[in-house]
Amino acid sequence: MSRPARLSPFIFGCDGLEVTPDEAALFGDVQPFGFILFKRNIAHPEQVKALTAGLREAVGWQAPIFIDQEGGRVDRMGAPHWREWLPPLDEVARVGPDRAARAMELRYRLIADDLRAVGIDGNCAPMGDIAHATTHPVLRNRCYGESLETVVKSARAVADGLLAGGVLPVLKHIPGHGRATMDSHLELPRVSASAEELRVTDFAAFEALNDLPLGMSAHIVYEALSERAATVDPVMIELIREEIGFKGLLMTDDLSMEALEGTLPQRAEAALAAGCDVVLYCKGVFSELTALAGIVEDMNETSLSRVDAALEARRTPDSIERSAVEAEYEAVLKGQAADG
């Protein structure tokens, strides 16, 4: 099922366990690029399958449906229906640098299998953020390591596992969230590192992963380069595009986060004007969806070309025997297997 000729630059959340008639009517009218699910949308596998089918029915095509299924603290699909995972940083530390990439590839191949089984085909992972001793706890154990090499290898493995499972990876948080000492859900973090230091560490991680099909911006000020949050700053979006070289579809982090100023429509307009392709609104509050719909505009040809490239990366999953993948994953966790 091909995409519509017209799409609007939104990824929308919805309120509950099923699509309401009002939501269906709004989604059909606005034609957002895609959707995102949260714990409030998850009860059991059959319910999630019905919800993802209902969202796609509302827009009339196989729109991508995303989730934040990192494992660990950010785990929208958990027990009793799905596996519980270690936080990524804890897992990488447990297996050691020689086995980390293989462990992460297997882990996210299994996660992809879970997601595709219920109609979800996009995951907001991998993380390209480098952890530091001062990284805010809301982010730190979601990272893959404290070195550039470990983060890049593990992030590449995560993306490979997701793509093999038919799930689009979303690289986050460009150009780097690891130095933030504040929670961007609540306030605007400011990073004081020099431009030179950022270029050989944080930015370098994303440059090494710049071929991935989708990415997510960071709501962070990099004081050596700008005085605005990267998501709404043309200077930083140009750096992401030209210096880091990211050519994929660029979405914002959630517009609901308090790092950004202004109303939701103002935040969306600022991000699009800065050069983001898509704005992400996760809460699914209907009045706020309606407010964002009031600024609806069609995606431009440049963004639509990035949409097409991203959708081309969404493929039929490679066939696996799940029990065999689980067995290898457990063996790697126990130190009984080498990198594949």
Tokens of 20: 């309401």
pLDDT confidence of residue 338: 45
- C-alpha to C-alpha distances, 14 to 3, 144, 302, nearest whole angstrom: 21, 30, 27
pLDDT in tens, 298-311: 999 999 999 999 99
pLDDT confidence of residue 1: 60
Distance CA 17, CA 14 (A): 8
The mean pLDDT of the chain is 95
339 has pLDDT over 50: no
Average pLDDT over residues 142-156: 96
Q: Could you please report the per-residue DSSP string of 254-288?
A: ETTSTTS-S-HHHHHHHHHHHT-SEEEE-S--HHH
Catalytic residue status for 90: no
Whether residue 126 has a cis bond before it, omega within 30° of 0: yes
Average pLDDT over residues 112-117: 98
Which pTM was predicted? 0.95
Average pLDDT over residues 276-288: 96
169 has pLDDT over 50: yes
The CATH number given to 34-333 is 3.20.20.300
Distance CA 254, CA 276 (A): 13
198 has pLDDT over 90: yes
pLDDT confidence of residue 296: 74
**Of 233, 253, 254, 277, which residue is the catalytic one?**
253
170 has pLDDT over 90: yes
pLDDT confidence of residue 13: 97
279 has pLDDT over 70: yes
Q: Which residues pair with 221 in a beta bridge?
A: 190
pLDDT confidence of residue 295: 86
For the chain, give the percent of residues with pLDDT over 70. 98
217 has pLDDT over 80: yes
- Residue keyed to tokens 């109609």: 119
Q: Which residues pair with 147 in a beta bridge?
A: none
337 vs 282, higher pLDDT: 282
pLDDT in tens, 20-59: 999 999 999 999 999 999 999 999 999 999 999 999 999 9
pLDDT confidence of residue 336: 66
Average pLDDT over residues 181-205: 92
- C-alpha to C-alpha distances, 91 to 34, 100, 104, nearest whole angstrom: 31, 8, 8
pLDDT confidence of residue 259: 87
Catalytic residue status for 132: no
**Of 15, 81, 185, 339, which residue is the catalytic one?**
185
pLDDT in tens, 306-327: 999 999 999 999 999 999 999 9
- Per-residue buried b or exposed e for 280-318, using 16+ beta carbons within 10 Å of the residue's own CB: bbbbbeeebbeebbebeeebeeebbebbeebbebeeebe
Instruction: Report whether 154 contacts 101 (CB < 8 A).
Output: yes
Domain ranges within the chain, ordered by starting residue: 34-333
Which pLDDT band, with edges at 50, 70 and 90, does 340 fall under? very low
**Helical H runs in the chain?**
21-30, 45-59, 88-95, 97-117, 137-140, 148-164, 195-200, 202-207, 234-238, 264-274, 286-293, 301-312, 322-333
pLDDT in tens, 55-108: 999 999 999 999 999 999 899 999 999 999 999 999 999 999 899 999 999 999
Average pLDDT over residues 192-207: 97
Average pLDDT over residues 211-238: 97
- C-alpha to C-alpha distances, 155 to 101, 190, 207, 310, nearest whole angstrom: 8, 24, 12, 18
Distance CA 72, CA 82 (A): 12
Tokens of 96: 């050691």
Instruction: Report whether 219 contacts 257 (CB < 8 A).
Output: yes
pLDDT in tens, 283-303: 999 999 999 999 878 999 999
